[in-house]
Structure 1
Amino acid sequence: MYVRRYMTSPAVTIDENATLTEAIHSLKEHGVRRLPVVRKGKLVGILSDRDIKEYCPTKATSLDVWEVHHVLAEVAVRDVMTRDPIAIRPDAPIEDAARVLHEKGIGALPVVDAKESLVGILTEHDVFGALVALTGARRGKTTRLHLTIPDRPGTIRDVADVIRAHGGRLVSILTSYEGVPDGSRELAIRFAGGRPDRIADALRPSHPDLDVRKG
C-alpha cells in the first residue's frame, strides 16, 4: 500500500509569484486548505489557510476592509508560504507517510518524484481513507474480532484457521504491540461470511478477552 494509491493527483497548486488574494480564491474554489507552491513545476513551499490567517492580523490590524483587500492583493505567496516543506515520494509506504504526519504534527505532505517535480499531495483526509480501506471497513457485511494473542509464530494463523474452518473469508488483519503485556500482541481480524457465533465459541476458551462486532 503506497502513497501513490491514496494521494490526490494532480494537486491544486499556486505559483510563488501569485498574490494572497489569488491564493484565497483558489482555496475557496477548490475546497482545499493547503496549496503546494511551485516554481516552474518544482515544489518550493506550501501555503495553508492558517498561514494566511496568521499573516492578516499582524499586517492588517489597523486597516479597514478595503485596505486589507489591497494589502492581500499586493503580497506575494512566496513571502508568506512555508519554505522547503517536508515532502514524500509516491512509492513510499502509506504508513511511513502517516508516521511523518503524526510525528511532525502537520496535515499534509506534498508528493514529489525523483526529479523533485510535484506529482500530488497527501492529506490527513487521504490517510484516513487509507485506514478505512486497509481495515476493510467498507466491505459491507463483515465481522470484526479483537483479541490478545501470544507473540509467537503461528498464533495469527491459528485464529485465521478457525475463521476459515467455519466458512469465514478474511478481509483484513491488523496487529499492534501498543498497550499490551510483554510477550503478546493485539490482533484485529475482519472477515466476511461464515458463522460468527461458532467462530466466537471456538476462540473464546483460549481468548477470554475476545470482542466480536458486526459491520
Structure 2
Amino acid sequence: MLILDWMKSNVISVPPDTSLLHCRKLFKEHQISRLPVVDADKVVVGLISASDIKEFSPQRTTGLEILEVLDMLGETKAKQLMTVDPATINYKGTVEQAATKMIERRVACLPVVNDEEKLVGILTEWDIFKALVSISGAAMPTGVEMAFKLENRRGTLREILDRLKEYGVRISTVLSIISDDGMRQVKIRFWSEDTAAEDKALEELKNHAGLRYWARNGEVYLRDKPNFAL
C-alpha cells in the first residue's frame, strides 16, 4: 500500500517563529494534534504536538494566572518547544514501511516529504489503522472471515482456495505470513450473493484441520478455546 494513497496532503504547518498560542488555536480550529514546523523552503525542521503545549502550560490557574499563561504562550515560539529533526518518510514509500519506522522510532506520526525533504503530507497512526482495516476486509459489512495455520509447503493455500472456488464464492482478501514456528498463518475473507453457497463453503472449511477461527456478522468463533491460568 502506497503512502500516497493514505496520507493527508492538505497539511497545516507553521514556521519556527509561530507562537504557541497560535499553534494551540490551529489545533482547536482544525481538530488536529500535531503540526509540522517548516522553514521558508517548506523543509521540515521540527514537529510540535498539542500534548507538548499542554505539558508546557501550568495545569492549575486562577483568573489572573490565566492571563499570564496566555502571555507566556504568546511569547514562546514553536522552535523553543518543538521536536527538532523529527522522523520523516518519503512519499514514495509504503504504509508498511511507515508503520515499521513508527515502531522503531516510537512516534505516532510521520511528516511525508519529497526528494528535496519538503513537506507534502502527513501520515498518522490513525491512517495506518484505516489502511489495516481496508486491506484486511474488516470494513466489509457482509461475508465470512476464516483463519488457518498451515504447513509452509507448496499447495496448502491453493487447496483451500480451490475448495472455495467450487462453491462459487468470491474471495475478498487473502493475507499470509510465516510465523516464528515456520508455519504459515493465512486469513481469507469471502462472500457470495447466494447465502446458501456461503453457508456451504463455511461448513466445509470448518472441518479443516488447520482452522483457528472463523467470523461472521461481527461474531468470532474460536476452534480451540484458550486455557487461561488465572
What TM-score results when the alignment is normalised by the length of structure 1? Answer: 0.90
Task: Name 1:34's counterpart in structure 2.
Answer: 34
Decide whether aligned partners of structure 1 residues 208 and 149 sit closer, same or farther in structure 2, where only a CA change above 3 A counts: closer
Distance in 2 between the 1:81 and 1:183 partners?
44
SS in 1 for 2:90: coil
Which residue matches 1:18?
18
Could you say which residue in structure 2 is the equivalent of 1:170? 171
Q: Match for residue 7 of structure 1?
A: 7
Cα pair 1:204 1:210 within 8 Å, conserved = no
How much does 1:49 deviate? 1.0
Partner residue, 1:212 = 214
Find the aligned partners of 1:212 and 1:170 in 2 and give their Cα distance. 15
- CA RMSD, aligned part only? 2.1
* Alignment-mate amino acid for residue 187 of structure 1: V
* Alignment: residue pair count: 211
For 2:209 and 2:101, the matched residues in 1 are separated by 35
Q: Distance in 2 between matches of 1:209 and 1:172?
A: 17
Instruction: Quote the sequence identity (%).
Output: 33
Shift in Å, 1:55: 2.0
CA distance in 2, matches of 1:2, 1:208: 32
- Change in CA separation of 1:206 and 1:143 when aligned onto 2, cut-off 3 Å: closer
Paired letter, 1:27: F
Aligned to 1:92: 93
Gaps of 5+ in 1: none
Distance in structure 1 (CA, Å) of the matches to 2:71 and 2:182: 64
1:205 CA drift (Å): 3.9
Going from structure 1 to structure 2, the CA distance change for 1:208 and 1:111 (only over 3 Å counts) comes to closer
Q: Distance in 2 between matches of 1:93 and 1:158?
A: 31
Residue 188 of structure 1: aligned partner: 187
- C-alpha contact (below 8 Å) 1:16/1:78 kept by paired residues: yes
Which ranges in structure 2 are unaligned for 5 or more consecutive residues? Answer: 218-230
Please tell me the residue identity of whatever aligns with 1:188. K
Runs of 4+ in 1 over 4 A off after TM superposition: none
Deviates more, 1:34-43 or 1:147-156: 147-156
Once the 2 structures are TM-superposed, how far is the Cα of residue 57 of structure 1 from its aligned partner? Answer: 3.7
Report which stretch shifted further, 40-49 or 101-110.
Answer: 101-110
Verify the 8 A CA contact 1:143 1:190 in the aligned structure 2: yes
Measure, in 2, the Cα distance between the counterparts of 1:183 and 1:65: 60
Show the counterpart of 1:155. 156
Would you say the 8 A contact 1:135–1:172 is kept in 2?
yes
TM-score (ref. length: structure 2): 0.85
1:129 alignment counterpart: 130
C-alpha deviation, 1:141, in angstroms: 1.3
Aligned-pair CA distance for 1:113: 0.5
CA distance in structure 1 between the partners assigned to 2:31 and 2:83 by the alignment? 20
Deviates most, 159-168 or 197-206: 197-206
Distance in structure 1 (CA, Å) of the matches to 2:125 and 2:210? 36
